[in-house]
A and B are shown apart, each in its own frame.
Chain A
Amino acid sequence: MPNKEINTILATDCGSTTTKAILIDKKNGEYRLTVRGEAPTTVEAPFEDVTRGVLNAIREVEELAGREILDGEKIIKPRMNEKRGVDIYISTSSAGGGLQMMVAGVVKTMTAESAARAALGAGAIVMETIASNDGRLTHEKIELIRRLRPDMILLSGGIDGGTVKHVVQLAEIIGAADPRPRFGTGYSLPVIYAGNKDAAEAVKENLINKTDLSIVDNLRPILERENLEPARHEIHDLFMEHVMAHAPGYKKLMNWTDTPIMPTPGAVGLLIKAIAEKQNIQVIGVDIGGATTDIFSVFKGIFNRTVSANLGMSYSVSNVLAEAGAENISRWIPFDVDRKNLRNRIKNKMIRPTTIPQTLKELQLEQAIAREALRLAFLQHKSMAVGLKGVQQERTISDAFSQEATGETLVDMMNLDLLVGSGGALSHAPRRNQAALMLIDGFLPEGVTRLAVDSIFMMPQLGVLSTIHEKAATEVFDKDCLIRLGTCIAPVGKGREKNLCLKVSIDNKTVEVNYNDMVLIPLGLGEKKEAVITPWKNFDIGAGKGKQLTVTLEGGIVGIIIDARGRPLELPKEDLKRIELLRKWNKALKIYPEPI
């Protein structure tokens, strides 16, 4: 597609909860965002067709831009004039939502357990485990597969050289169930085989025509050794490439777009990678969605991407509660909330995922959940972002059930230069200060770290645009998308309240900050200042314990945040004290409209 012809670009991102549309126009030789529209994603009855949400979001763009884009349900292409049509239409999708899997293995407490661990490690929910010895009759197993409609099945079983018969029987059961994915839109159910290598051929014979079969190394090649990484990575890749983007009506949408629909995390990952390469820095990016939370990192030039398939703010919100626990969510809420009420509110968001917080307390509650979703997704990212893939873990029978990460994570918070947030909870937080604090609380950056957010949640669309029109994507990204929030200064170490933690000197003015305090120093967008940071002897800001550091601080919409709460961060267990501290920090950083 020759770039010179492109003046107007329409791009959508179909999230699990919201469909976002942006319109980009070339004006005075420069590409800029013109308007943005959004509408609920329509994967539920009565529509059950993702294109409905797309049309609704485009209609909003039409209204706001005063431009005719749709002719009935057809996108007018190419652009006729300033008031009619667009040159290209592109889209990303994560409308399919989270990942729910079934796992199967020969022995319930051995291979089936390993399979379940591989699935959990890849961020999936294990809906059910089937094993040759689980006491269920064949037809019961088949019924289960049909009723649960898993997104993917992981079949394991047998150590290498071990039983073939039982593994093949499991494959026969899966074949007989004729598993259909949630949406029958012409793609086969992904099945991963990670069992006895001697059975691979027979499994292939049974499943190759009925499913989208992939074969990886045995996840339990010998009884005492678990090798979960190949299965875990395959699950992760298949989910991102094949399951996540699909939703009812996906095929129809495919016919509308000028380039293949890209899975949302694929598109966002491209942008994060580009930032790291261009500026030669260490970056972490996050996209917190309704069903999934995707994290991207570039450390030492190595790009890693994880999709936590069941951590999110709407469809998966109740799973954040289940995984984090009510206690961990409550610790971020700056008021007293009883458990029963908290649980009901979260469940109500789960069953009505498109609603938004209307009161300040509801907003604070959602932002508390967001912190935990970020924290948990980041934990998963750290465990998967390791240098060497496929490091095998020796397991004895006795420790076969404990789950430990393999390899050492590449993520190094002290060397992190930039933390970028995207997704509804961060991009649409009513105050940018809220987004900054959610990022800090969720990721706990160490030392000196710049913070940024996606202005209106358009990184996915720009990611896909960068594959066909880099100039447009870069210009819009720099000018309209990336909002620089400022810089966070967070010393590592523990101290005592009211004792000095660090001094920051800027322009001959010195700010002294006590341990467990937070301070906001205004420094506007585009401003840069040389600063001398002197941590107290127990604290490290990047140069070593008690060592001074001279850095250039970058300002932003929020400014310079000094987080002297120490690392690792520990909040008081006692409710009154905790609430008092949260309110103090919120007030210092101007997080909410009133001091509460």
Chain B
Amino acid sequence: MAHAYTPGLKVAARTVVRKERRLPLKGKVVANIGDMISANDIIATTSLPGEVVPLNLAGKLGIPPADVREYLLKKEGDEFEKDEILAQTKGMFGLFKTVIKTPIKGSLENVSEITGQLILRAPPKKVEIDAYIDGKVVDIIKDEGVVVETVATFVQGIFGIGGEAKGIIQKLVNKPADIITKDMIKSEHSGKILIGGSFIDSDSLKQAAKYGIKGIVVGGIDDEDLRNFLGYDIGVAITGSENIGVTLMITEGFGKMKMAQRTFDLLVSQEGKKASINGATQIRAGVLRPEIVIPRPGELAEAGKVESRGLEIGCPIRVIRDPDFGAIGKVKELPPELQQIETEASVRVLAVELEDGKQVLLPRANVEMIEE
């Protein structure tokens, strides 16, 4: 294969991030174009009609259906709390009354004198959607939501779990090769998005979920730890709906993987800033990758990059397959002819000088370019 290409994971210091935020049902958009909004601000809301609860009053009181109104203490349209008295019989001499209490909080919607049945309705359920990121409303999707835009530091990971979360960036390790251990995660990290180095295990993840850590960004994880933490095996990479208490974003891959220096430096430089993270990943055509967005209001986006021209001599690359998985290097040579590798397969290769000075010959399919 002549063409190697990167999966296109974005690591940008200042780029324009645009997010579409939609209600699941039509409702009311409460933000306006031009509004500056915060990640937790509600931008649209709707209410779902409450659940209907039928109540056979005539049957319960042992009265003819036509008489139900006589015994009712509430009128149609009245609202009530749970366990209020809804109806009662007169009893004998004021004693031995049969009392029917409201089984739910809600309102009385309908009284039928034909069946003796009441229809009670629970209060409407409010459904809201927030902005997810701090930014400016740049478009309104009528009755459904908005598009929020901001200039932000934007980093995509290779794999993640857990849904949207917001928190303050905090560095947990000093170097991208460091690993996160359970004892590093403390209760004071609650509400934070922690930046780790090369590795996290399942015990540390459990600790993070226990202390209310919002998110963790780290280079690698063992698949076995991931399975221990989730309680099941991930077959096809479709994630994001796990209910696990913490969102995890892996930047490099499975195993102990030093986070790319540039990613680490960029995230650490944003320590103390508010960020939004989403672990949702779908690795299939129409791919979704996990992300972290750290808004930088008032700053200008860097000029858009010219589309990459493919591998060239001098290009910085990362090796994405064993035996040198994760190593960074520079392209030294791009021999056009096919060459035989250890497996005896004849493939297009490239010569690379790794950071430690080692010279290696690699299949072109096994490197990705690093955008500078």
Contacts and interface: CB of A to CB of B under 8 A. Distances in A.
Interface of A: 16, 18, 37-40, 42-48, 56, 59-60, 63, 95-98, 100, 125, 127-128, 137-140, 142-144, 146-149, 176-177, 182-183, 246-248, 291, 310, 315-316, 318-319, 321-323, 339-341, 343-348, 350-360, 362-363, 428, 430-431, 593
A48 B7 CA distance: 10
Interface string B347-372: 10000000000000011011010000
A240 to B, nearest CB: 15
Contacts of B286: 43, 48, 149, 182-183, 247-248
Given A47-B8, A147-B241, A340-B222, 8 more contacts: A46-B308, A48-B287, A56-B3, A147-B280, A176-B25, A315-B236, A344-B253, A347-B254
Contacts of A323: 235
Interface stretch (B31-39, B63-71, B209-217, B320-328): B320-328
A340 B228 CA distance: 12
A45 B284 contact: no
Contacts of A248: 285-286
Interface string B280-315: 101111110100000000000000000110000000
A138 B47 CA distance: 11
Given A40-B1, A125-B236, A182-B284, A356 B253 contact: no
A319 to B, nearest CB: 4
B188 interface: no
Contacts of A95: 285
Interface string B252-296: 011100000000000000000000000010111111010000000
B182 to A, nearest CB: 18
A356 B285 contact: no
Interface residues of B, number: 58
Interface in B327-358: 341-345, 347
B284 A315 contact: yes
B240 interface: yes
Contacts of A125: 235-236, 238
A359 B241 contact: no
A100 B284 contact: yes
B344 A430 contact: yes
Contacts of B159: 347, 351
B363 to A, nearest CB: 5
A177 to B, nearest CB: 7
Contact of A56 (B2, B127, B320, B365): B2
Nearest to A40: B5
Interface in B1-43: 1-5, 7-8, 10, 22, 24-25
Interface of B is mostly: loop
B236 A310 contact: yes
B125 interface: yes
B83 interface: no
Given A46-B8, A318-B236, A347 B223 contact: yes
Nearest to B26: A176
B81 interface: no
Contacts of A138: 25, 48
Contact of A350 (B127, B283, B320, B362): B283
Contacts of A356: 321, 345, 347, 363, 365-366
A127 to B, nearest CB: 6
A275 to B, nearest CB: 28
Contacts of B236: 98, 100, 125, 310, 315-316, 318-319
> What are the 7 tightest A-B residue pairs by CB atom distance, in nearest-first order?
A182-B286, A322-B235, A430-B344, A45-B8, A43-B285, A343-B223, A319-B235
Contacts of A98: 236, 284
